[in-house]
Each structure stands twice: as structure tokens, then as C-alpha cells.
């Protein structure tokens, strides 16, 4: 099985590539749950992100914002932000650009229901767009993975199957205060659980959390970037698989951790992988000890 055997850190930026907005803006308090991808049609890097706090009513998410970049380092926020308002209660989103249809993008996103200021349920929804800014919600999809070991489903990360047009998704399920890796398959408009038991369990530095965030394909191998660790002190790890069912963690994990005195000195989380030849970009969500969120970038040779 292919692995990033020669993985070597080339550069880790000392400043974030995306920060909070000004005091009067919707994202003035926080930038978090970021997902970064490269759009092959408009040839731009895009960050979709949440803001936590201002205008949320219950201290939750204010909506989803978008920032774009030519070089993947200097991002400009969309004038249409927020793309979704806080009434949808979107807690994260993952974008998929269809390879065979020009200018069609899919968004799979998580929606949480709150009761007495607590998260009590998370569901998966779908939206489509032609430009990445204006999205149409699609109520036709559902997810049927709640009848088994999962008490809640989160961080739904779609991945196209190698050698076919099928679509599966990794997610984490919560059970007994721990999170485990699960797998679902899209059949028609419904997602069904593939494995009746968790695929990966947290151990060691991962504490009680394994949360899949981004997956790519390299030389016939699926490469997963995930966040793990104790609550509020996350780091980033890698895992490899040939079939999405059997996974092997990278022995060098954690790949990225917090840095003293930097914008990411509290934790790093929400990794997004972009492979360009022998260069691997790892974008990640960061938070400092003052509670300010941002997005960072590390570049590896592979």
C-alpha cells in the first residue's frame, strides 16, 4: 500500500491565511470548521468556513462564509458572505466538484438541532451550486445511519470510489462519549451504513476523538486527514487505506500540533489536503490561547 514514506515538512506559515473580520462584520469573533479545496474550473483555492458567536442568538454558528485565492496563500472573502445565515444551523460543510459536469458543485453539510443551548442531534443535508457562492438547498437526500452504534453522526466527508462513479462517505459516530470512524454508501438518494462496527478507534494521543476531515487519492491509496485529541487541544493525523474499510494510521502521527507563541498555540484541527505533484498542502483550522480562530497552512514534500 502506498504511503507518504518521504513526507517532509517544507514550510509552515507563521501567519494565518484567513483571519476574523472587522468588529462590524459577521465573522468578527471567530473563523472555524474551515474546508479548503481547489476548483479545477475557476482555478482558484476556496475556503468555506463558519463563524461562532456574533448574531447567532444561541452562541452557535452565524452561517457559512467563502474566501478565495489564486495562489492559496492570500484569500479574499466573498462580498456575498455569509452564504448561509445562522437559521440553517450549519456546523460544517464539505464541497465536491463534479468531474464530468462543468460548473456544478455539491455541498454536503451538517445541521445541528439545539435544545436548551445544547447540541442534541446532527443531520446531513445537500446543496448544489454553479458558481460556489449561490447555493440551492436540496431536501431529497437523507442519511440512515442512526440505528446502529452511532448516537450522533458528524463530519460527513464524501469520497468518490476509485474506478467507478460511486460515492461513499466517511464520518464519525459518537458512542459512549468517544468518537469512531464510520463509512456510508450513497444508494439512490439515501446514505446507508456500510460497516456495522467502527473502522478506527481513538488511541494514545488521539484520546477520545477521531474526526475525518479530508480525503484524497494518491497512487491507488486513500489518504485521510483527521483531527484527534482531547477536547480543545486537537492535533492532526493521517491514515491510509486501499478499500476505505481497513485503515492504517501513519506512525509519525500527529502530523501537525500546536506551536507555542503562534496563532495556533491552542490547537490545530479541520485539516484539508490538496496534492499537487510532489507537494502536499495541508490547510488547517487553528485557535490561539485567546480563543481567536483562523486558518493556517503547512506544505510538505511527498
Per the domain annotation, does 128 fall within a domain? Answer: yes
Measure the CA–CA gap between 43 and 40, rounded to whole angstroms.
Answer: 5
Measure the CA–CA gap between 158 and 150, rounded to whole angstroms.
Answer: 18
Measure the CA–CA gap between 104 and 83, rounded to whole angstroms.
Answer: 17
Q: What is the pLDDT of residue 54?
A: 43
Angle at 33 between CA 27 and CA 35, to 5 degrees: 105
Measure the CA–CA gap between 4 and 301, rounded to whole angstroms.
Answer: 9
Q: Which of 142-151, 194-203, 247-256 has the highest mean pLDDT?
A: 247-256
Q: What is the pLDDT of residue 115?
A: 55
Give the SS3 label for residue 269.
strand
Q: How many domains does the chain have?
A: 1
pLDDT in tens, 277-292: 999 999 999 999 998 9
pLDDT in tens, 69-128: 999 999 999 999 988 876 666 777 887 766 556 678 888 887 766 555 555 556 777 888
Report percent pLDDT > 70 for the chain.
Answer: 85
Per the domain annotation, does 2 fall within a domain? Answer: no
Q: What is the pLDDT of residue 57?
A: 42
- Tell me the sheet residues that pair with 32: 50
Using the predicted structure, report yes or no on whether residue 145 has a pLDDT greater than 80.
Answer: no
Per the domain annotation, does 3 fall within a domain? Answer: no
Per the domain annotation, does 47 fall within a domain? Answer: yes
CATH number at residue 260: 2.115.10.20
pTM metric for this prediction: 0.91
Cell numbers given for 117: 443551548
Per the domain annotation, does 261 fall within a domain? Answer: yes
Q: How many CB atoms lie within 10 A of CB 44?
A: 17
Give the chain's mean pLDDT: 85
Q: What is the pLDDT of residue 88?
A: 62
Per the domain annotation, does 1 fall within a domain? Answer: no
Question: Is residue 171 within 8 Å of residue 145, measured between CB atoms?
Answer: yes
Query: Order of strands across the sheet with 293-301?
Result: 8-12, 293-301, 279-287, 267-276
Pairing of strands 167-175, 152-160: antiparallel
Closest CA to 84 of 65, 107, 57: 65
Cell numbers given for 194: 456500510
Q: What is the pLDDT of residue 105?
A: 86
Q: How many CB atoms lie within 10 A of CB 176?
A: 9
Cell numbers given for 130: 454553479
Q: How many CB atoms lie within 10 A of CB 27?
A: 27
Per the domain annotation, does 246 fall within a domain? Answer: yes
pLDDT in tens, 39-71: 888 899 999 998 865 444 444 556 789 999 999
Measure the CA–CA gap between 281 and 243, rounded to whole angstroms.
Answer: 24
Domain extent at residue 154 = 8-301
Q: What is the pLDDT of residue 158?
A: 85
pLDDT in tens, 12-49: 999 999 999 988 888 887 888 899 999 888 899 999 99
Give me the mean pLDDT over the 244-251 stretch. 96
Amino acid at each position: 500500500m502506498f504511503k507518504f514514506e518521504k513526507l517532509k515538512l517544507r514550510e509552515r506559515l507563521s501567519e494565518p491565511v484567513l483571519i476574523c473580520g472587522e468588529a462590524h462584520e459577521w465573522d468578527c469573533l471567530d473563523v472555524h470548521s474551515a474546508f479548503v479545496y481547489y476548483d479545477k474550473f475557476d482555478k482558484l483555492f476556496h475556503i468555506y468556513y463558519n463563524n461562532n458567536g456574533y448574531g447567532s442568538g444561541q452562541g452557535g454558528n452565524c452561517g457559512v462564509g467563502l474566501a478565495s485565492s489564486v495562489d492559496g496563500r492570500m484569500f479574499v472573502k466573498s462580498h456575498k458572505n455569509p452564504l448561509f445565515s445562522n437559521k440553517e444551523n450549519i456546523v460544517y460543510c464539505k464541497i465536491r466538484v463534479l468531474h464530468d459536469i462543468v460548473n456544478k458543485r455539491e455541498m454536503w453539510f451538517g445541521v445541528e438541532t439545539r435544545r436548551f443551548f445544547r447540541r442534541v442531534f446532527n443531520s446531513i443535508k445537500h446543496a448544489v451550486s454553479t458558481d460556489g457562492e449561490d447555493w440551492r438547498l436540496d431536501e431529497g437526500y437523507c442519511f440512515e445511519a442512526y440505528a446502529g452504534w452511532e448516537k450522533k453522526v458528524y463530519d460527513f466527508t464524501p469520497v468518490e470510489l476509485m474506478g467507478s462513479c460511486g460515492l461513499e462517505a466517511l464520518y464519525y459516530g459518537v458512542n459512549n462519549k468517544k468518537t469512531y470512524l464510520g463509512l456510508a454508501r450513497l444508494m439512490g438518494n439515501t446514505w446507508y451504513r456500510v460497516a456495522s462496527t467502527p473502522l478506527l478507534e481513538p488511541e494514545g494521543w488521539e484520546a477520545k476523538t477521531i474526526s475525518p476531515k479530508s480525503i484524497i487519492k494518491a497512487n491507488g491509496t486513500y489518504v485521510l486527514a483527521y483531527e484527534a485529541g482531547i477536547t480543545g487541544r486537537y492535533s492532526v493525523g493521517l491514515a491510509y487505506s486501499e478499500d476505505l474499510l481497513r485503515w492504517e494510521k501513519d506512525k509519525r502521527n500527529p502530523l501537525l500540533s500546536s506551536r507555542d507563541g503562534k496563532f495556533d498555540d491552542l490547537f490545530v484541527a479541520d485539516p484539508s489536503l490538496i496534492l499537487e505533484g510532489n507537494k502536499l498542502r495541508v490547510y488547517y483550522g487553528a485557535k490561539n490561547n485567546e480563543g481567536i480562530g483562523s486558518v493556517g497552512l503547512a506544505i510538505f514534500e511527498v
